Amino acid sequence: MRENLTKEEESFLAKWLDGTISDATLKELVSEQDFIDYKKIKNGLELLDELNRPVAPSFNTLYNSIHKKRNFKNTQASFKWGLSIAASILVVLGCYFAFNFEEITHETSYAEQKTISLPDGSEVVLNAKSAINFTEKDWRNNRTILLKGEAFFKVKKGSTFSVQTPNGLVTVLGTQFNIKDTDTFFEVVCYEGKVSVTNNKKEHVLSPGNAIRKIDGKDSEKHDKENSLPSWLNGESSFVSVPLKYVILELEKQYNIQIDAHRIDDSIIFTGSFSNKDLKLALVSVFKTMDIQYIKEKNGVLSLE
Amino acid sequence: MIKDLNNICNQKVFEKLFNIHAKDLRRFLFFKTQDMDTAEDILQDAFIKLWDNCNNVNPEKAKSFLFTVAKNMFFNYKKHEKVVMNHQKRTLKSSNYETPEYLLVEKEFLVKIEEAIAALPDKQKEVFLLSRMEKKKYKEIAEILGISVKAVEKRMHLALLEMKEKIGKV
């Protein structure tokens, strides 16, 4: 310990701890080893602050993410409450659905996925920020769905099944396929059976492993072997030769973030994938490979350079 | 609405459980992941899982449910991270990307700090807690305690000296 401390110096640790004096100044006042020790203590104290910070904001986030589920749970619990009431509700619901001519809409928000069973047992898995819309009336003979965004379809054999999107009409008999339709990006991938795609009054027939794509009005067909299922069903978004612009859009949808790309060329072609579960990993796997720097701004926007 | 005070599906019960366990769980996860954001993410997922199973979990068992679920989620996260990292190692030819350095803080070290704070002489402890926990400025502490700012700073200074001694010795 230093012997000849002056009056001022006797409180230098207090001043350093509250930021009045800098690390550099402290380094001049104590030995190197002491400085490291104090720095470690300070880091530890800051970490303790972090760990002890209130959990209320965290609860708000949680509350929002389970808000939809809560409504669902409540209905479920009310079944327990009185079976008789539940039974009568079922009868009423049954009548309601039997005569239901109204449109049914399912929607997903950012970072959300939803599996929907259709009246005939066909299945639709909606990716984030997507919506489907259909009527239950005469479903067995007229299976038509409106789609915005991206979805994977597993269709039971039966009458013609059509998906209408702003960019084209997709018709099948019984098969598995994936459609992605955003404003200027349209892609259909066939995984099983045969899929017919009509856009610009042209008809394309896809066999398993084939895909058709339209970006900014330009058609292209590719025939490479795809996986047996779209990767986003397993929590990953994959891209094969897609302009970076659409990769960024997908990142924004999957994580509900904003990305500012005006400083980079977002038309460069990207091939690869990112995780839909871990933002940090996702950012590394997209931008690291493209040699792009990303910085989180104060307002939460991620800007690229 | 569920009124039952013994059912986690009751939102009040759920919120109470969150307030009781969230901090401990967050701390536990931080030491596992060494990353505050990841810890927070897993924390959220664990509580969502608790909510999904609110009819099947007894409130007394909530704590062990949460920690078990969180632990499994952490293992899955690690496994996934490893796969992704390996994949990247294979696909990337070269990169000059520097991994962000982070300070590995061990649990034991934080426990030592907490013990050192607890062992401070009363006068120093009082000032130290007002400053660190209540986030009061030295000037405000001086007003609260009716002493000079210089005296507050001196006590803080001594508290830090004392803590370093204590932590260095253990």
Question: Domains (ranges, CATH) in chain A?
Answer: 8-52 (no CATH), 106-222 (2.60.120.1440), 235-304 (3.55.50.30)
Chain B residues in contact with A48 (beta carbon < 8 A)? 110, 113-114, 132
**Token pair for A8:** 């001022």
Q: Write out pLDDT tens, residues A200-233.
A: 777 778 877 788 888 777 777 665 655 667 878 8
Residue A285 has its nearest CB partner, among B15, B88, B114, at B88
Among residues A232, A235, A233, A251, the alpha carbon closest in space to that of A290 is found at: A251
Amino acid at A15: K
A69: nearest CA partner in chain B: B52
Residue A38 has its nearest CB partner, among B18, B41, B164, at B164
ipTM above 0.95, yes or no: no
Chain B residues in contact with A55 (beta carbon < 8 A)? 18-19, 22-23, 26
Q: What is the structure's pLDDT at B153?
A: 94
Q: What is the structure's pLDDT at A51?
A: 85
Q: What is the structure's pLDDT at A3?
A: 44
B28-57 burial string, b = 16+ CB within 10 Å, else e? bbbebbeeeebbbbbbbbbbebbbeebeeb
Name the band, by pLDDT with cuts 50, 70 and 90, for residue B67. very high
Question: Residue B102: is its pLDDT beyond 90?
Answer: no
Where does residue A274 rank: exposed (0-12), middle (13-18), buried (19+ CB within 10 A)?
buried
Chain B residues in contact with A278 (beta carbon < 8 A)? 38, 41, 77, 80-81
Hey, are the CB atoms on A38 and B84 less than 8 Å from each other? no
How big is the CA angle at A232 (ends A171 and A292), to the nearest 5 degrees? 120
Chain B residues in contact with A38 (beta carbon < 8 A)? 160, 164
Q: Does A293 touch chain B (CB under 8 A)?
A: no
Return the DSSP state at B23: H
Chain B residues in contact with A15 (beta carbon < 8 A)? 153
Q: Does A46 touch chain B (CB under 8 A)?
A: no
Hey, are the CB atoms on A278 and B160 less than 8 Å from each other? no
How close B138 comes to chain A (CA, Å)?
9
Listed as ranges, residues in chain A with pLDDT below 70 are 1-9, 68-102, 159, 173-174, 221-228
Rounded CA gap, B87 and A285, in Å? 10
* Residue pair A145/A170 in contact by the 8 Å Cβ criterion: no
**Token pair for A220:** 């292209």
Rounded CA gap, B137 and A54, in Å? 20
Hey, are the CB atoms on A61 and B138 less than 8 Å from each other? no
Mean local confidence (pLDDT), B10-16: 89
Residue B153 has its nearest CB partner, among A15, A41, A44, at A15
Among residues A66, A109, A111, A49, the alpha carbon closest in space to that of A255 is found at: A111
Predicted structure pTM score = 0.45
Percent of chain B residues topping a pLDDT of 90? 54
Question: Residue B95: is its pLDDT beyond 50?
Answer: no
Q: Does A37 touch chain B (CB under 8 A)?
A: yes
B107-169 adopts what CATH topology? Arc Repressor Mutant, subunit A (1.10.10)
Q: Does A224 touch chain B (CB under 8 A)?
A: no
Name the band, by pLDDT with cuts 50, 70 and 90, for residue B46. very high
Chain B residues in contact with A34 (beta carbon < 8 A)? 164
Percent of chain B residues topping a pLDDT of 70? 86
Say which residue the tokens 């001694």 belong to: B165
Q: What is the structure's pLDDT at A83?
A: 60
Q: What is the structure's pLDDT at B100?
A: 34
A176 strand-pairing partners: A154, A192
Q: Is the CATH code 1.10.1740 the one for domain B11-91?
A: yes
Question: Residue B55: is its pLDDT beyond 70?
Answer: yes
Say which residue the tokens 């990142």 belong to: A251
Mean local confidence (pLDDT), B119-135: 91
A132 strand-pairing partners: A106, A147
Where in chain B are the domains?
11-91, 107-169
